[in-house]
Amino acid sequence: MKVSPAKENILKRVRNALSQPVQLPFPHAEGNNSVFETAHEGLEIKFAEEFSKLQGKFIFCSSRDELAENLQTLVENKEWTHVHCKTPSLESILRPYNPAYLNVGDERTLDAAITDCEYLIARTGSIIMSAAQPSGRALPVYAPYHIVVAYTHQLVFDLKDGINKMKEKYPGQLPSMISFATGPSRTADIEKTLVVGVHGPKEVYVFLLDE
């Protein structure tokens, strides 16, 4: 097949360019570094601000006593009688306070659910959850009100930090499901009108325990 002089000239330039690779003009544009600056006022404050913007309810607890007291106040204000919890570590924290609202009745009639989480992302106000948690996949989504109890050491700044933490926690085999909950469920599919609590919890609470 005869190659035109113009085409041969182009191919020659390509071959020369490939034989003499040049350094990337923007070496930091490959996603190795975050483009967002870490907040100076503290991750818990940043998370509280972003989570509240998304209609989430944030409660900081300085001790287990304060956690139990705040949970009891919330349950009484909401008049809940059936709050479900499948997380043994949280049950052991709350059991000494004899919470009458905690029971293991039918999940189809529950008022709210208390779960743990994997990590909290401060920059976006998001909660990382996975199928490896005792609460499983369904409970955080099925419950009309979702209460998350987290610890200050679970705070990370950005999404990439959270993913790296998950890889460290589950080396070689990540959970079969990892989800990112950013406030209560919402949709604007119909007439672009935002509706909250359509296909998930109507309200999401994060109780952050300083421990």
pTM of the model: 0.77
Host domain of residue 80: 41-209
Question: Does residue 183 belong to any structural domain of this protein?
Answer: yes
Report helix, strand or coil for 163.
helix
102 DSSP 8-state letter = B
Question: Does residue 187 belong to any structural domain of this protein?
Answer: yes
Question: Does residue 32 belong to any structural domain of this protein?
Answer: no
CATH number assigned to the domain comprising residue 58: 3.40.50.10420
Q: Count of domains in the chain?
A: 1
Question: Does residue 17 belong to any structural domain of this protein?
Answer: no
- 10-residue mean pLDDT series, the chain (211 residues): 74 78 62 56 91 93 96 95 92 93 77 95 95 89 92 96 96 93 67 57 93 77
Question: Does residue 86 belong to any structural domain of this protein?
Answer: yes
Question: Does residue 6 belong to any structural domain of this protein?
Answer: no
Distance (Å) of CA 140 to CA 12, 39, 144, 181, 209: 61, 29, 9, 10, 19
Question: Does residue 10 belong to any structural domain of this protein?
Answer: no
Question: Does residue 29 belong to any structural domain of this protein?
Answer: no
